[in-house]
Chains A and B, each alone.
Chain A
């Protein structure tokens, strides 16, 4: 039969999704279900002196009102359990929860939550990252020594208001700077932004005998299970997590917010309790992409080749580190300040600060858009100072096989030079532009995902296969990918492989979707399972044949990509629009061609939003962009067509040579747009690149 991968895929969940029958967490309901609502702090930092729930309890239909005193000392988090389920002694950001209500209707629950009467004593709040890390800053977590850390010991931090801290050094930076012909230094800043998935978090919790059931929007059900076991003090196998389709994740849905109070409400009422977060709360209390301030210093030789690099990166972690899954309690790519370049010597220091802002967490390539915006703007400024074409400067510094990157790691292979050559050709780089237009370039590199998982595969008498996996569907096409890998390996039609996503009681432990992992990890587990099935079948085993396919993907490899973007700028108003965009991406073997294209087009739009309009504006600790009326994301009219060139012949560690695309190409959009606007006359050093900032820059003011 012809190669399965040559035919564009048809999503296995496609029919459900286009007919409205696909189920999401907010669609779940149970007999006797109660509805939850929460009371949150109006202060960014305060002591909780007293909580009076009498008026709330008197609302007709209210079945339970819980406060911090009822759940103490329960704190939650993906790694560090630092976020109280309900605050009992201190609130640390506006919206921090102090009480939870369960009632017969959502309206009654909300009315009661508004009547919870809390006496606070305001404490000094700290909103700026550097102020938070200064000696004598108000302490946000005086009890940090008591916090539990899941699985590992918490790394030391240099200041009690530091969530995490990392330092890296390789080569001889001092010698590199001494040898440099020129040294440049720039500082850039980005506000926090939101994932802006269109499905607000939702959860339904009920307790059936000794078993706790959770229906959730959390994209990592086994991780939620482990966290809930820690918070509730119950065994992991007494918890069953069901994740239906997830309505957009981008990293944000790895952190649960409502499941913890819902568990306590379900326990005290004996009823199922559901919560669907209002979008205003999504924007005010959920984990954002970190705001950041980044200072870069780079030495270059006479030809513009990097000799040494130094970086100081500050992230605003907000009130809790609970949203961060990695042990360093930092965004994953906190240190990737010159990703994709040859950096012979570097010293990079990054710190994530606690502040009295809403908590920050993981968002699509965590840490990378921030560092990419800073680095790509910095290199563009260097190119212009040196009088070198910006693409040319990148070609001279692009990482090649045998070079070391900003982390001091040697690359054994690199597609970056080829990506740039292809970008030069496909974008028509150098072609004269009309007046008022500008052109910008930015490149990027993203590791392919790592992790391990197992899947169960069963081959029946007809030669059809059923795969059971704990992987969740957040839209990336995981189920379809798994099916196509199995189908190709067994040389059967994809329709003959049924992939079932099952709850935590019926699946081997799974790491969840995220970190560009699924095609590498789940794909390789599917391939392993298919090979075992084929071997058993060929050895004459009688169906049904049941095997477990496993993968432990540890290969350290990168996908490379680059953008060229053209803008048209109105010098009278500062308004501009992106009129042309080219993306060249090194993606390895393509398993789901429709999904790969969609991830890259979607990543482009995601980055475009951060470049052009997105800002979770916070004034005095209060989010003032608390609806999609104020927090703007791109609409169809904001996104120009993307010219897409795929390099597919450099194999990755995924099945049949696949690489990752989920987080590959969103980070560098911001830098490419900033550089195009600068080419048109306005260098803006902070995001978003608003017309106001462009106009100020055109008039020679600060931007």
Chain B
């Protein structure tokens, strides 16, 4: 397996890592960069727990080869708050009961941030369609819907 030096930014900070060609982005983030806010759930790209943004696009970091991110701008849950101030989405997840155990929450918030970037005022149907790839076992999703609606100013 060949190795390569990758350069990208994570939450605005330039980073360099040397990785094997088959190394997954989730392992680079969690193990190499110790950004453990991104979680790993199903490992097959279904549950959405490992969701991160690569150049603004939502990807499952458990399936995404790290080499694909060379030169990209990556956003993880650690990059959603701005300078110690929670984003409105994060505040809404707290006040509306958008999480319980919290393991899917980084993926939910990153996915919801991508939704609001694309559609600042989503309908309920649009929320459901977009968030279908982010599973949650605790909340029954009602709190997540309320949180996204609230963050969207609804």
Contact = CB atoms under 8 A, between A and B. Distances in A.
Contact of B104 (A8, A198, A249, A476): A198
Contact of B103 (A18, A248, A602, A633): A248
A279 B43 contact: yes
Given A13-B102, A18-B86, A19-B86, A601 B140 contact: yes
Interface string B124-144: 000111011111111111111
Interface in B106-138: 106, 109, 127-129, 131-138
Contacts, number: 174
A338 B94 CA distance: 38
A245 interface: yes
A18 B88 CA distance: 11
Contacts of A249: 101
Interface in A559-610: 594-595, 597-599, 601-606
A477 B100 contact: yes
A283 to B, nearest CB: 9
Residue among B78, B86, B102, B106 having the largest count of chain A Cβ atoms under 10 Å: B102
A605 B81 contact: no
B140 A604 contact: yes
**Interface residue SS majority, chain B:** loop
Contacts of B90: 18-19
A197 B142 contact: no
Given A18-B93, A635-B132, A636-B145, A24 B103 contact: yes
A605 B97 CA distance: 15
A37 B144 CA distance: 36
Interface in A607-634: 627-629, 633-634
Nearest to A596: B97
A196 B137 contact: yes
Interface stretch (A297-305, A378-386, A457-465, A637-645): A637-645
B41 A279 contact: yes
B141 A247 contact: no
Contact of A199 (B39, B97, B143): B39
A200 B41 contact: yes
Contacts of A14: 93-94, 99
A10 B96 CA distance: 9
Contacts of B81: 19
A8 to B, nearest CB: 7
A664 to B, nearest CB: 14
B59 interface: no
B130 to A, nearest CB: 9
A248 B99 CA distance: 11
Contact of A21 (B37, B109, B128, B129): B37
B128 A633 contact: no
A250 B137 contact: yes
A489 B46 CA distance: 46
B39 to A, nearest CB: 7
Residue among B80, B96, B135 having the largest count of chain A Cβ atoms under 10 Å: B135
A692 B105 CA distance: 34
A633 B135 contact: yes
B19 to A, nearest CB: 13
A246 B39 CA distance: 13
A597 B97 CA distance: 8
Contact of A18 (B40, B105, B136, B138): B105
B76 A20 contact: yes
Contact of A598 (B77, B100, B103, B104): B100
A27 interface: yes
A10 B138 CA distance: 17
B44 A627 contact: yes
Given A199-B39, A248-B137, A475 B102 contact: yes
14 contacts: A17-B102, A18-B102, A19-B86, A20-B37, A21-B78, A247-B101, A250-B137, A276-B40, A476-B100, A601-B143, A627-B44, A628-B47, A637-B132, A639-B141
User: What are the nearest 3 A-B pairs in CB distance?
Assistant: A20-B37, A247-B103, A475-B101
Interface of A: 8, 10-11, 13-24, 26-27, 195-200, 245-250, 276, 278-280, 473-477, 594-595, 597-599, 601-606, 627-629, 633-637, 639, 641-642
Given A17-B102, A18-B93, A26-B39, 12 more contacts: A15-B94, A17-B105, A21-B37, A276-B40, A279-B42, A474-B101, A475-B101, A594-B97, A602-B139, A634-B141, A637-B129, A639-B140
